[in-house]
Chains A and B, each alone.
Chain A
Amino acid sequence: MLDTSLIIQYGPSLLRGFGVTILCWAAGCAIGMTLGFVLMLLRQVPLRPLRWLIRAYVEVIRGTPFLIQLFLLYNGGPSIGLRLEATTAGILGLGLYGSAYFAEIFRAGYQAVPKGQVEAALSLGMSYGAILRRVIVPAMLVSTIPAIVNMMAILTKETVVLSIITVPELMYEMQTMAAETFATFETILGMALFYWLLVEVTSRLGRRLEARVTRFLTHSSTPTPSTRTSTARA
Protein backbone atom coordinates (compact mmCIF):
# COMPACT_ATOMS: atom_id res chain seq x y z
CA MET A 1 0.00 0.00 0.00
CA LEU A 2 1.21 3.48 -0.87
CA ASP A 3 1.53 5.65 2.17
CA THR A 4 0.30 9.10 1.13
CA SER A 5 1.49 10.73 4.34
CA LEU A 6 5.04 10.06 3.19
CA ILE A 7 4.46 12.10 0.07
CA ILE A 8 3.18 15.02 2.09
CA GLN A 9 6.05 14.75 4.50
CA TYR A 10 8.83 14.33 1.98
CA GLY A 11 7.23 16.12 -0.96
CA PRO A 12 9.00 19.43 -0.50
CA SER A 13 12.47 17.90 -0.20
CA LEU A 14 11.81 15.66 -3.19
CA LEU A 15 10.72 18.64 -5.27
CA ARG A 16 13.78 20.52 -4.18
CA GLY A 17 15.88 17.53 -5.19
CA PHE A 18 14.15 17.42 -8.53
CA GLY A 19 14.94 21.11 -8.99
CA VAL A 20 18.61 20.50 -8.26
CA THR A 21 18.62 17.59 -10.70
CA ILE A 22 17.18 19.78 -13.44
CA LEU A 23 19.62 22.58 -12.64
CA CYS A 24 22.63 20.24 -12.75
CA TRP A 25 21.41 18.61 -15.93
CA ALA A 26 20.62 21.85 -17.77
CA ALA A 27 23.85 23.54 -16.72
CA GLY A 28 25.83 20.39 -17.49
CA CYS A 29 24.29 20.14 -20.96
CA ALA A 30 24.98 23.82 -21.63
CA ILE A 31 28.62 23.50 -20.59
CA GLY A 32 28.98 20.20 -22.43
CA MET A 33 27.56 21.55 -25.68
CA THR A 34 29.51 24.79 -25.57
CA LEU A 35 32.78 23.06 -24.78
CA GLY A 36 32.01 20.29 -27.27
CA PHE A 37 31.41 22.84 -30.01
CA VAL A 38 34.66 24.65 -29.22
CA LEU A 39 36.55 21.34 -29.22
CA MET A 40 35.02 20.45 -32.59
CA LEU A 41 36.10 23.82 -34.03
CA LEU A 42 39.62 23.52 -32.63
CA ARG A 43 39.84 20.09 -34.21
CA GLN A 44 39.41 21.74 -37.60
CA VAL A 45 42.56 23.80 -37.09
CA PRO A 46 45.32 22.17 -39.13
CA LEU A 47 47.68 21.76 -36.19
CA ARG A 48 48.63 18.17 -35.43
CA PRO A 49 49.53 18.48 -31.70
CA LEU A 50 46.26 20.31 -31.03
CA ARG A 51 44.28 17.61 -32.77
CA TRP A 52 46.05 14.86 -30.82
CA LEU A 53 45.41 16.68 -27.58
CA ILE A 54 41.70 16.96 -28.28
CA ARG A 55 41.49 13.37 -29.40
CA ALA A 56 43.23 12.21 -26.24
CA TYR A 57 40.80 14.26 -24.15
CA VAL A 58 37.80 12.76 -25.91
CA GLU A 59 39.15 9.22 -25.64
CA VAL A 60 39.99 9.52 -21.94
CA ILE A 61 36.57 10.93 -21.06
CA ARG A 62 34.73 8.38 -23.11
CA GLY A 63 36.92 5.54 -21.92
CA THR A 64 36.52 6.04 -18.17
CA PRO A 65 33.42 5.81 -15.95
CA PHE A 66 31.73 9.09 -15.09
CA LEU A 67 31.86 8.20 -11.39
CA ILE A 68 35.64 8.04 -11.44
CA GLN A 69 35.90 11.35 -13.29
CA LEU A 70 33.64 12.88 -10.67
CA PHE A 71 35.71 11.48 -7.78
CA LEU A 72 38.83 12.80 -9.44
CA LEU A 73 37.33 16.26 -9.76
CA TYR A 74 35.69 16.45 -6.33
CA ASN A 75 38.01 14.41 -4.12
CA GLY A 76 41.19 14.67 -6.15
CA GLY A 77 40.73 18.33 -7.04
CA PRO A 78 41.81 19.75 -3.65
CA SER A 79 45.22 18.11 -3.96
CA ILE A 80 45.92 20.36 -6.96
CA GLY A 81 44.26 23.33 -5.30
CA LEU A 82 40.87 22.91 -6.94
CA ARG A 83 38.38 23.07 -4.09
CA LEU A 84 34.82 22.90 -5.40
CA GLU A 85 31.50 22.83 -3.68
CA ALA A 86 29.63 19.57 -4.37
CA THR A 87 27.00 21.01 -6.73
CA THR A 88 29.58 23.05 -8.64
CA ALA A 89 31.79 19.99 -9.02
CA GLY A 90 28.76 17.98 -10.14
CA ILE A 91 27.78 20.49 -12.82
CA LEU A 92 31.34 20.91 -14.03
CA GLY A 93 31.90 17.15 -14.06
CA LEU A 94 28.71 16.56 -16.00
CA GLY A 95 29.71 19.29 -18.46
CA LEU A 96 33.19 17.88 -19.04
CA TYR A 97 31.78 14.38 -19.41
CA GLY A 98 29.18 15.55 -21.91
CA SER A 99 31.64 17.70 -23.86
CA ALA A 100 33.56 14.68 -25.15
CA TYR A 101 30.39 13.13 -26.53
CA PHE A 102 29.04 16.39 -27.89
CA ALA A 103 32.38 17.08 -29.58
CA GLU A 104 32.06 13.78 -31.42
CA ILE A 105 28.44 14.44 -32.38
CA PHE A 106 29.33 17.91 -33.67
CA ARG A 107 32.36 16.59 -35.54
CA ALA A 108 30.19 14.12 -37.42
CA GLY A 109 27.70 16.89 -38.12
CA TYR A 110 30.42 19.22 -39.36
CA GLN A 111 31.77 16.60 -41.72
CA ALA A 112 28.28 15.92 -43.04
CA VAL A 113 27.75 19.52 -44.18
CA PRO A 114 27.66 19.36 -47.98
CA LYS A 115 30.94 20.79 -49.23
CA GLY A 116 29.21 22.60 -52.06
CA GLN A 117 27.19 24.74 -49.65
CA VAL A 118 30.41 25.96 -48.07
CA GLU A 119 32.06 26.49 -51.46
CA ALA A 120 29.10 28.58 -52.61
CA ALA A 121 29.52 30.78 -49.53
CA LEU A 122 33.30 31.03 -50.03
CA SER A 123 32.89 31.94 -53.68
CA LEU A 124 30.60 34.82 -52.69
CA GLY A 125 33.31 36.18 -50.42
CA MET A 126 31.72 35.30 -47.08
CA SER A 127 33.95 35.18 -44.01
CA TYR A 128 34.49 31.94 -42.11
CA GLY A 129 32.54 33.29 -39.16
CA ALA A 130 29.57 34.15 -41.36
CA ILE A 131 29.75 30.77 -43.09
CA LEU A 132 29.83 29.03 -39.73
CA ARG A 133 26.83 30.91 -38.39
CA ARG A 134 24.71 31.06 -41.50
CA VAL A 135 25.54 27.89 -43.40
CA ILE A 136 27.40 25.28 -41.34
CA VAL A 137 25.56 25.42 -38.02
CA PRO A 138 22.05 25.33 -39.56
CA ALA A 139 23.08 22.37 -41.72
CA MET A 140 24.64 20.67 -38.70
CA LEU A 141 21.49 21.09 -36.63
CA VAL A 142 19.51 19.12 -39.17
CA SER A 143 21.76 16.10 -39.02
CA THR A 144 22.70 16.16 -35.34
CA ILE A 145 19.54 17.01 -33.40
CA PRO A 146 18.54 13.36 -32.83
CA ALA A 147 22.00 12.57 -31.49
CA ILE A 148 22.03 15.73 -29.34
CA VAL A 149 18.65 14.90 -27.80
CA ASN A 150 19.82 11.35 -27.22
CA MET A 151 22.91 12.56 -25.38
CA MET A 152 20.81 14.95 -23.30
CA ALA A 153 18.55 12.05 -22.31
CA ILE A 154 21.60 10.02 -21.28
CA LEU A 155 22.85 12.93 -19.18
CA THR A 156 19.54 13.18 -17.28
CA LYS A 157 20.24 9.71 -15.99
CA GLU A 158 23.89 10.38 -15.29
CA THR A 159 22.83 13.04 -12.79
CA VAL A 160 22.06 10.27 -10.26
CA VAL A 161 25.81 9.73 -9.95
CA LEU A 162 26.07 13.21 -8.45
CA SER A 163 24.35 11.94 -5.29
CA ILE A 164 27.54 10.03 -4.47
CA ILE A 165 29.46 13.27 -4.01
CA THR A 166 26.52 14.56 -1.87
CA VAL A 167 24.91 16.90 -4.38
CA PRO A 168 21.40 17.28 -2.90
CA GLU A 169 19.66 16.21 -6.10
CA LEU A 170 16.71 13.89 -6.50
CA MET A 171 18.56 10.62 -5.98
CA TYR A 172 20.16 11.98 -2.83
CA GLU A 173 16.84 13.13 -1.38
CA MET A 174 15.24 9.83 -2.31
CA GLN A 175 17.95 7.90 -0.55
CA THR A 176 17.50 10.05 2.53
CA MET A 177 13.79 9.36 2.42
CA ALA A 178 14.33 5.63 2.00
CA ALA A 179 16.81 5.52 4.86
CA GLU A 180 14.48 7.37 7.22
CA THR A 181 11.22 5.61 6.35
CA PHE A 182 12.21 2.21 4.96
CA ALA A 183 9.55 2.84 2.27
CA THR A 184 11.72 1.31 -0.46
CA PHE A 185 8.97 0.60 -2.96
CA GLU A 186 7.51 4.12 -2.95
CA THR A 187 10.95 5.62 -3.17
CA ILE A 188 12.12 3.61 -6.13
CA LEU A 189 8.83 3.97 -7.96
CA GLY A 190 8.79 7.71 -7.39
CA MET A 191 12.34 8.05 -8.55
CA ALA A 192 11.74 6.11 -11.75
CA LEU A 193 8.73 8.30 -12.48
CA PHE A 194 10.67 11.53 -12.05
CA TYR A 195 13.49 10.50 -14.38
CA TRP A 196 11.11 9.09 -16.94
CA LEU A 197 9.24 12.39 -16.88
CA LEU A 198 12.44 14.32 -17.49
CA VAL A 199 13.57 12.11 -20.36
CA GLU A 200 10.11 12.17 -21.91
CA VAL A 201 9.92 15.96 -21.81
CA THR A 202 13.43 16.19 -23.30
CA SER A 203 12.67 13.90 -26.20
CA ARG A 204 9.36 15.62 -26.91
CA LEU A 205 11.05 19.00 -27.00
CA GLY A 206 13.72 17.44 -29.19
CA ARG A 207 11.19 16.17 -31.69
CA ARG A 208 9.56 19.58 -31.90
CA LEU A 209 12.90 21.23 -32.39
CA GLU A 210 13.80 18.72 -35.08
CA ALA A 211 10.55 19.35 -36.89
CA ARG A 212 11.28 23.04 -36.73
CA VAL A 213 14.81 23.00 -38.12
CA THR A 214 13.91 20.55 -40.89
CA ARG A 215 10.75 22.46 -41.82
CA PHE A 216 12.22 23.44 -45.17
CA LEU A 217 12.70 19.79 -46.15
CA THR A 218 9.26 18.54 -45.18
CA HIS A 219 7.60 20.94 -47.57
CA SER A 220 8.47 18.66 -50.44
CA SER A 221 9.36 15.07 -51.04
CA THR A 222 11.94 15.82 -53.72
CA PRO A 223 15.46 15.41 -52.43
CA THR A 224 17.66 18.46 -52.76
CA PRO A 225 20.41 17.83 -55.26
CA SER A 226 22.47 20.35 -53.34
CA THR A 227 22.92 17.85 -50.51
CA ARG A 228 25.41 16.02 -52.67
CA THR A 229 28.69 17.43 -53.75
CA SER A 230 29.59 17.08 -57.33
CA THR A 231 31.49 13.88 -57.95
CA ALA A 232 31.57 14.00 -61.71
CA ARG A 233 34.13 16.67 -62.21
CA ALA A 234 35.61 17.14 -65.62
Chain B
Amino acid sequence: MIAADKNATNTAPNGASLPRTAGGGPNGSPAGTTPMVTVRGLGKSFGTNEVLRDIDLTVNRSEVVCLIGPSGSGKSTLLRCINFLEAYDRGEIRIEGTLVGYSEDSPRRRLTNRELRGLRRNVGMVFQQFNLWPHMTALENVAEALVQVRGMNKADAAARARQMLERVGLAAKADSYPARLSGGQQQRVAIARVIAMEPHLMLFDEPTSALDPELVGEVLQVMRDLAADGMTMVVVTHEMGFAANVADKVAFLDHGRIAAFGTPREVFHESAEPRVQQFLQTYHERNSF
Protein backbone atom coordinates (compact mmCIF):
# COMPACT_ATOMS: atom_id res chain seq x y z
CA MET B 1 0.00 0.00 0.00
CA ILE B 2 2.84 2.29 0.87
CA ALA B 3 4.60 1.10 -2.24
CA ALA B 4 1.66 2.07 -4.41
CA ASP B 5 1.53 5.39 -2.62
CA LYS B 6 5.17 5.91 -3.50
CA ASN B 7 4.55 5.11 -7.11
CA ALA B 8 1.88 7.76 -7.28
CA THR B 9 4.30 10.36 -6.01
CA ASN B 10 6.97 9.33 -8.46
CA THR B 11 7.88 12.85 -9.37
CA ALA B 12 11.61 12.90 -9.13
CA PRO B 13 13.23 15.92 -10.74
CA ASN B 14 15.16 13.30 -12.68
CA GLY B 15 11.80 12.24 -14.00
CA ALA B 16 12.27 10.70 -17.34
CA SER B 17 12.62 7.07 -16.24
CA LEU B 18 10.27 5.14 -18.50
CA PRO B 19 9.21 1.74 -17.28
CA ARG B 20 11.21 -0.71 -19.29
CA THR B 21 9.79 -3.98 -20.39
CA ALA B 22 12.77 -5.29 -22.27
CA GLY B 23 15.52 -7.34 -20.74
CA GLY B 24 13.65 -10.36 -19.44
CA GLY B 25 13.92 -9.55 -15.74
CA PRO B 26 12.24 -11.77 -13.19
CA ASN B 27 9.01 -9.83 -13.27
CA GLY B 28 5.58 -10.51 -14.62
CA SER B 29 4.05 -10.46 -11.16
CA PRO B 30 2.06 -7.47 -9.94
CA ALA B 31 5.29 -6.39 -8.25
CA GLY B 32 6.71 -6.04 -11.74
CA THR B 33 5.46 -2.50 -11.88
CA THR B 34 7.14 -1.44 -8.63
CA PRO B 35 10.53 0.14 -9.30
CA MET B 36 13.45 -1.90 -8.02
CA VAL B 37 14.85 1.05 -6.09
CA THR B 38 13.29 4.36 -5.19
CA VAL B 39 15.33 6.95 -3.34
CA ARG B 40 13.47 9.99 -2.07
CA GLY B 41 14.97 13.07 -0.41
CA LEU B 42 17.94 11.09 0.81
CA GLY B 43 20.39 12.89 3.07
CA LYS B 44 23.39 11.81 5.09
CA SER B 45 26.07 13.54 7.09
CA PHE B 46 29.32 12.39 8.60
CA GLY B 47 29.49 14.78 11.54
CA THR B 48 29.16 18.25 10.06
CA ASN B 49 30.09 17.05 6.60
CA GLU B 50 26.94 16.66 4.52
CA VAL B 51 27.83 13.92 2.04
CA LEU B 52 24.39 13.35 0.53
CA ARG B 53 21.76 16.07 0.06
CA ASP B 54 18.24 15.53 -1.13
CA ILE B 55 18.94 12.66 -3.52
CA ASP B 56 16.08 11.34 -5.66
CA LEU B 57 16.66 8.33 -7.84
CA THR B 58 14.55 5.61 -9.38
CA VAL B 59 15.94 2.36 -10.70
CA ASN B 60 13.53 0.20 -12.67
CA ARG B 61 13.76 -3.53 -13.14
CA SER B 62 16.47 -4.74 -15.49
CA GLU B 63 17.89 -1.26 -15.66
CA VAL B 64 21.59 -0.46 -15.39
CA VAL B 65 22.24 2.84 -13.64
CA CYS B 66 25.79 4.19 -13.43
CA LEU B 67 26.77 6.66 -10.74
CA ILE B 68 29.64 8.84 -11.85
CA GLY B 69 31.31 11.92 -10.51
CA PRO B 70 34.46 13.21 -8.82
CA SER B 71 35.96 11.59 -5.72
CA GLY B 72 34.12 12.61 -2.60
CA SER B 73 30.92 13.38 -4.46
CA GLY B 74 29.03 10.79 -2.40
CA LYS B 75 28.42 8.11 -5.00
CA SER B 76 29.87 5.23 -2.98
CA THR B 77 28.04 6.42 0.12
CA LEU B 78 24.79 6.50 -1.83
CA LEU B 79 25.43 2.95 -3.03
CA ARG B 80 26.23 1.74 0.49
CA CYS B 81 23.03 3.31 1.80
CA ILE B 82 20.99 1.19 -0.61
CA ASN B 83 21.82 -2.05 1.26
CA PHE B 84 22.22 -0.17 4.53
CA LEU B 85 25.90 -0.86 5.04
CA GLU B 86 25.75 2.87 5.69
CA ALA B 87 22.82 4.32 7.60
CA TYR B 88 21.13 7.39 6.15
CA ASP B 89 19.78 10.30 8.16
CA ARG B 90 17.03 11.83 6.06
CA GLY B 91 14.61 10.74 3.36
CA GLU B 92 13.97 7.12 2.45
CA ILE B 93 15.11 4.28 0.26
CA ARG B 94 12.78 1.52 -0.86
CA ILE B 95 13.73 -1.70 -2.57
CA GLU B 96 10.80 -3.39 -4.32
CA GLY B 97 8.56 -1.21 -2.18
CA THR B 98 10.14 -2.19 1.13
CA LEU B 99 11.66 0.54 3.30
CA VAL B 100 15.39 -0.01 3.74
CA GLY B 101 16.98 0.09 7.18
CA TYR B 102 14.15 1.52 9.25
CA SER B 103 10.95 0.16 10.68
CA GLU B 104 7.86 0.71 8.56
CA ASP B 105 5.71 1.28 11.69
CA SER B 106 7.96 3.66 13.58
CA PRO B 107 10.03 5.15 10.80
CA ARG B 108 13.04 6.21 12.83
CA ARG B 109 13.63 2.85 14.52
CA ARG B 110 16.68 1.42 12.87
CA LEU B 111 16.40 -2.24 11.92
CA THR B 112 18.77 -4.75 13.46
CA ASN B 113 21.17 -6.79 11.42
CA ARG B 114 18.83 -9.73 11.82
CA GLU B 115 15.92 -7.76 10.34
CA LEU B 116 18.07 -6.54 7.46
CA ARG B 117 19.07 -10.02 6.37
CA GLY B 118 15.88 -10.66 4.42
CA LEU B 119 16.52 -7.59 2.30
CA ARG B 120 20.24 -8.12 1.90
CA ARG B 121 19.95 -11.66 0.60
CA ASN B 122 18.19 -10.20 -2.44
CA VAL B 123 20.68 -7.37 -2.94
CA GLY B 124 24.18 -8.38 -3.96
CA MET B 125 27.19 -6.15 -3.58
CA VAL B 126 30.54 -6.17 -5.36
CA PHE B 127 33.31 -4.20 -3.67
CA GLN B 128 36.28 -2.24 -4.92
CA GLN B 129 38.65 -4.40 -2.86
CA PHE B 130 36.84 -7.67 -3.79
CA ASN B 131 36.58 -8.65 -0.10
CA LEU B 132 36.88 -12.36 -0.70
CA TRP B 133 37.48 -14.40 2.44
CA PRO B 134 41.16 -15.28 2.14
CA HIS B 135 40.96 -18.50 4.15
CA MET B 136 38.46 -20.05 1.74
CA THR B 137 39.05 -21.29 -1.79
CA ALA B 138 37.22 -19.65 -4.69
CA LEU B 139 34.63 -22.41 -4.56
CA GLU B 140 34.18 -22.12 -0.79
CA ASN B 141 33.79 -18.36 -1.11
CA VAL B 142 30.92 -18.82 -3.53
CA ALA B 143 29.31 -21.72 -1.66
CA GLU B 144 29.47 -20.12 1.79
CA ALA B 145 26.35 -17.94 1.70
CA LEU B 146 24.42 -20.66 -0.11
CA VAL B 147 24.92 -22.84 2.95
CA GLN B 148 24.72 -20.17 5.65
CA VAL B 149 21.92 -18.03 4.22
CA ARG B 150 19.98 -20.20 1.77
CA GLY B 151 20.36 -23.32 3.89
CA MET B 152 21.54 -25.51 1.01
CA ASN B 153 23.43 -28.67 1.86
CA LYS B 154 27.14 -28.62 1.19
CA ALA B 155 27.12 -30.81 -1.90
CA ASP B 156 24.39 -28.82 -3.65
CA ALA B 157 26.04 -25.54 -2.70
CA ALA B 158 29.38 -26.73 -4.09
CA ALA B 159 27.74 -27.85 -7.34
CA ARG B 160 25.99 -24.52 -7.73
CA ALA B 161 29.17 -22.63 -6.83
CA ARG B 162 31.01 -24.53 -9.55
CA GLN B 163 28.35 -23.50 -12.09
CA MET B 164 28.69 -19.87 -11.06
CA LEU B 165 32.48 -20.01 -11.38
CA GLU B 166 31.99 -21.46 -14.83
CA ARG B 167 29.74 -18.56 -15.69
CA VAL B 168 32.50 -16.07 -14.88
CA GLY B 169 35.07 -18.23 -16.66
CA LEU B 170 36.91 -19.47 -13.59
CA ALA B 171 35.94 -23.12 -13.29
CA ALA B 172 39.63 -24.04 -13.41
CA LYS B 173 40.40 -21.89 -10.36
CA ALA B 174 37.75 -23.40 -8.09
CA ASP B 175 40.28 -24.79 -5.62
CA SER B 176 42.61 -21.78 -5.56
CA TYR B 177 42.84 -19.49 -2.58
CA PRO B 178 42.29 -15.78 -3.31
CA ALA B 179 45.98 -15.05 -2.71
CA ARG B 180 46.77 -17.11 -5.80
CA LEU B 181 44.34 -15.26 -8.04
CA SER B 182 44.88 -12.05 -9.96
CA GLY B 183 42.79 -9.03 -9.06
CA GLY B 184 40.55 -9.56 -12.05
CA GLN B 185 40.02 -13.19 -11.14
CA GLN B 186 39.29 -12.29 -7.52
CA GLN B 187 36.69 -9.78 -8.63
CA ARG B 188 35.06 -12.35 -10.89
CA VAL B 189 34.90 -14.78 -7.97
CA ALA B 190 33.31 -11.99 -5.93
CA ILE B 191 30.72 -11.53 -8.68
CA ALA B 192 30.09 -15.29 -8.79
CA ARG B 193 29.60 -15.22 -5.01
CA VAL B 194 26.86 -12.65 -5.47
CA ILE B 195 25.04 -14.09 -8.49
CA ALA B 196 24.93 -17.52 -6.83
CA MET B 197 22.40 -15.97 -4.45
CA GLU B 198 20.16 -14.93 -7.37
CA PRO B 199 19.86 -11.31 -6.23
CA HIS B 200 17.13 -9.08 -7.61
CA LEU B 201 19.54 -6.17 -7.60
CA MET B 202 23.32 -5.88 -7.77
CA LEU B 203 25.38 -2.99 -6.44
CA PHE B 204 28.89 -2.43 -7.75
CA ASP B 205 31.23 -0.13 -5.82
CA GLU B 206 34.01 0.84 -8.23
CA PRO B 207 34.52 -2.80 -9.21
CA THR B 208 37.50 -2.13 -11.47
CA SER B 209 39.26 0.70 -9.62
CA ALA B 210 41.66 -1.58 -7.76
CA LEU B 211 42.64 -3.51 -10.89
CA ASP B 212 45.64 -3.26 -13.14
CA PRO B 213 44.50 -1.73 -16.45
CA GLU B 214 44.92 -4.96 -18.41
CA LEU B 215 42.58 -6.79 -16.00
CA VAL B 216 39.72 -4.29 -16.18
CA GLY B 217 38.29 -5.71 -19.41
CA GLU B 218 37.57 -9.20 -18.11
CA VAL B 219 35.53 -7.82 -15.21
CA LEU B 220 33.62 -5.38 -17.39
CA GLN B 221 32.81 -8.22 -19.79
CA VAL B 222 31.22 -10.24 -16.97
CA MET B 223 29.21 -7.17 -15.98
CA ARG B 224 28.11 -6.65 -19.59
CA ASP B 225 26.88 -10.25 -19.70
CA LEU B 226 24.91 -9.72 -16.51
CA ALA B 227 23.32 -6.57 -17.91
CA ALA B 228 22.40 -8.44 -21.08
CA ASP B 229 20.75 -11.13 -18.95
CA GLY B 230 18.48 -8.49 -17.48
CA MET B 231 20.11 -8.00 -14.08
CA THR B 232 19.20 -4.75 -12.37
CA MET B 233 22.47 -3.01 -11.56
CA VAL B 234 23.62 0.16 -9.84
CA VAL B 235 27.26 0.75 -10.67
CA VAL B 236 29.62 3.32 -9.19
CA THR B 237 32.35 3.59 -11.79
CA HIS B 238 35.08 5.66 -13.34
CA GLU B 239 34.84 3.65 -16.56
CA MET B 240 33.07 6.17 -18.79
CA GLY B 241 33.15 3.78 -21.72
CA PHE B 242 31.18 1.22 -19.72
CA ALA B 243 28.72 3.87 -18.55
CA ALA B 244 28.23 5.17 -22.11
CA ASN B 245 27.74 1.74 -23.68
CA VAL B 246 25.99 -0.35 -21.04
CA ALA B 247 24.07 2.01 -18.78
CA ASP B 248 20.42 2.82 -19.35
CA LYS B 249 20.73 5.83 -17.07
CA VAL B 250 23.67 7.81 -15.80
CA ALA B 251 23.61 9.92 -12.64
CA PHE B 252 26.33 12.50 -12.21
CA LEU B 253 26.96 13.33 -8.56
CA ASP B 254 28.75 16.38 -7.29
CA HIS B 255 29.00 17.49 -3.66
CA GLY B 256 26.34 15.04 -2.57
CA ARG B 257 23.73 16.06 -5.14
CA ILE B 258 22.65 14.55 -8.43
CA ALA B 259 23.77 17.31 -10.78
CA ALA B 260 22.71 15.55 -13.97
CA PHE B 261 20.60 12.49 -14.71
CA GLY B 262 19.47 10.86 -17.92
CA THR B 263 20.48 8.48 -20.65
CA PRO B 264 24.22 8.30 -21.34
CA ARG B 265 23.64 10.46 -24.41
CA GLU B 266 21.75 13.08 -22.42
CA VAL B 267 24.40 13.27 -19.70
CA PHE B 268 27.55 12.91 -21.77
CA HIS B 269 26.63 14.85 -24.89
CA GLU B 270 23.59 17.00 -24.29
CA SER B 271 24.03 18.14 -20.71
CA ALA B 272 24.61 21.86 -20.30
CA GLU B 273 25.74 21.32 -16.72
CA PRO B 274 29.23 22.88 -16.52
CA ARG B 275 30.40 20.50 -13.80
CA VAL B 276 29.67 17.52 -16.05
CA GLN B 277 31.60 19.12 -18.87
CA GLN B 278 34.50 19.88 -16.57
CA PHE B 279 34.52 16.34 -15.16
CA LEU B 280 34.52 14.78 -18.62
CA GLN B 281 37.21 17.17 -19.76
CA THR B 282 39.46 16.09 -16.89
CA TYR B 283 38.64 12.46 -17.62
CA HIS B 284 39.60 12.78 -21.28
CA GLU B 285 42.83 14.61 -20.49
CA ARG B 286 43.85 11.93 -18.02
CA ASN B 287 43.11 9.14 -20.47
CA SER B 288 44.91 10.58 -23.45
CA PHE B 289 48.64 10.82 -23.75
Complex contacts, A76 vs chain B, CB 8 Å: none
Minimal beta-carbon separation of B235 from chain A (angstroms): 12
Task: Establish whether residues B179 and A222, one from each chain, have CB atoms under 8 Å apart when the complex forms.
Answer: yes
Complex contacts, B177 vs chain A, CB 8 Å: 216-217, 219-220
Measuring CB to CB, which residues of chain A are less than 8 angstroms from any residue of chain B? 114, 116-117, 119-128, 130, 134-135, 138-139, 142, 213, 216-217, 219-220, 222-230, 232-234
Q: Which residue of A lies closest to B77 (CB)?
A: A233
Q: Which residue of A lies closest to B128 (CB)?
A: A230
Q: How far is the CA of A205 from the CA of B160 in the complex (A)?
A: 38
Task: Establish whether residues A125 and B129, one from each chain, have CB atoms under 8 Å apart when the complex forms.
Answer: no
Measuring CB to CB, which residues of chain B are less than 8 angstroms from any residue of chain A? 69-77, 83, 85, 113-114, 116-121, 123-125, 127-136, 144-145, 148-149, 177-180, 183, 186, 190, 193-194, 197, 205-206, 209-210, 236, 253
Task: Establish whether residues B118 and A125, one from each chain, have CB atoms under 8 Å apart when the complex forms.
Answer: yes
**From B132, B183, B210, B236, contact of A120 by CB (8 A):** B132
Complex contacts, B206 vs chain A, CB 8 Å: 230, 234
6 pairs from A and B in contact (CB 8 Å cutoff): A119-B127, A130-B149, A217-B177, A222-B180, A224-B178, A234-B72
Minimal beta-carbon separation of B271 from chain A (angstroms): 19
**From A123, A213, A219, A223, contact of B85 by CB (8 A):** A123
Minimal beta-carbon separation of B183 from chain A (angstroms): 6
**From B74, B125, B194, contact of A234 by CB (8 A):** B74
Complex contacts, A230 vs chain B, CB 8 Å: 127-129, 205-206, 210
Task: Establish whether residues B127 and A124, one from each chain, have CB atoms under 8 Å apart when the complex forms.
Answer: no
Q: Which residue of B lies closest to A118 (CB)?
A: B131
**From B74, B113, B132, B179, contact of A217 by CB (8 A):** B179
The binding surface of chain A is classed by DSSP as helix
Q: Which residue of A lies closest to B73 (CB)?
A: A234
Minimal beta-carbon separation of A226 from chain B (angstroms): 5
Task: Establish whether residues A123 and B83, one from each chain, have CB atoms under 8 Å apart when the complex forms.
Answer: yes
Task: Establish whether residues A225 and B236, one from each chain, have CB atoms under 8 Å apart when the complex forms.
Answer: no
Q: Which residue of A lies closest to B196 (CB)?
A: A124
Complex contacts, B114 vs chain A, CB 8 Å: 127-128
Minimal beta-carbon separation of B148 from chain A (angstroms): 4
Q: How many A-B residue pairs have CB under 8 A?
A: 131
Q: Which residue of B lies closest to A216 (CB)?
A: B177
Q: Which among A127, A217, A232, A234 has the highest number of chain B CB atoms within 10 Å?
A: A234
Minimal beta-carbon separation of A128 from chain B (angstroms): 6
Q: Which residue of B lies closest to A218 (CB)?
A: B179
Task: Establish whether residues B117 and A123, one from each chain, have CB atoms under 8 Å apart when the complex forms.
Answer: no
**From A114, A122, A234, contact of B120 by CB (8 A):** A122
Complex contacts, A226 vs chain B, CB 8 Å: 129-132, 134, 178, 186
Complex contacts, A223 vs chain B, CB 8 Å: 179
Task: Establish whether residues A123 and B124, one from each chain, have CB atoms under 8 Å apart when the complex forms.
Answer: yes
Complex contacts, B120 vs chain A, CB 8 Å: 122-125
Q: How far is the CA of A162 from the CA of B135 in the complex (A)?
A: 40
**From B69, B75, B123, B253, contact of A123 by CB (8 A):** B123
Q: How far is the CA of A135 from the CA of B120 in the complex (A)?
A: 18
**From B132, B136, B145, contact of A126 by CB (8 A):** B145
Q: Which among A120, A134, A138 has the highest number of chain B CB atoms within 10 Å?
A: A120
Q: Which residue of A lies closest to B237 (CB)?
A: A234
Task: Establish whether residues A128 and B113, one from each chain, have CB atoms under 8 Å apart when the complex forms.
Answer: yes
**From B121, B129, B178, B180, contact of A124 by CB (8 A):** B121
Complex contacts, A224 vs chain B, CB 8 Å: 132, 134, 178-179
Q: How far is the CA of A82 from the CA of B120 in the complex (A)?
A: 50
Q: Which residue of A lies closest to B194 (CB)?
A: A124
Minimal beta-carbon separation of B70 from chain A (angstroms): 8
Q: How far is the CA of A121 from the CA of B197 in the complex (A)?
A: 12
**From B127, B133, B134, B209, contact of A232 by CB (8 A):** B209
- Contact flag A234-B197 (CB < 8 Å), given A116-B127, A224-B178: no
Minimal beta-carbon separation of A74 from chain B (angstroms): 42
**From A116, A142, A217, contact of B131 by CB (8 A):** A116
Q: Which residue of A lies closest to B118 (CB)?
A: A125
Q: Which residue of B lies closest to A133 (CB)?
A: B148
Complex contacts, B236 vs chain A, CB 8 Å: 234
Task: Establish whether residues B135 and A139, one from each chain, have CB atoms under 8 Å apart when the complex forms.
Answer: yes
Q: How far is the CA of A124 from the CA of B74 in the complex (A)?
A: 23
Task: Establish whether residues B135 and A225, one from each chain, have CB atoms under 8 Å apart when the complex forms.
Answer: no
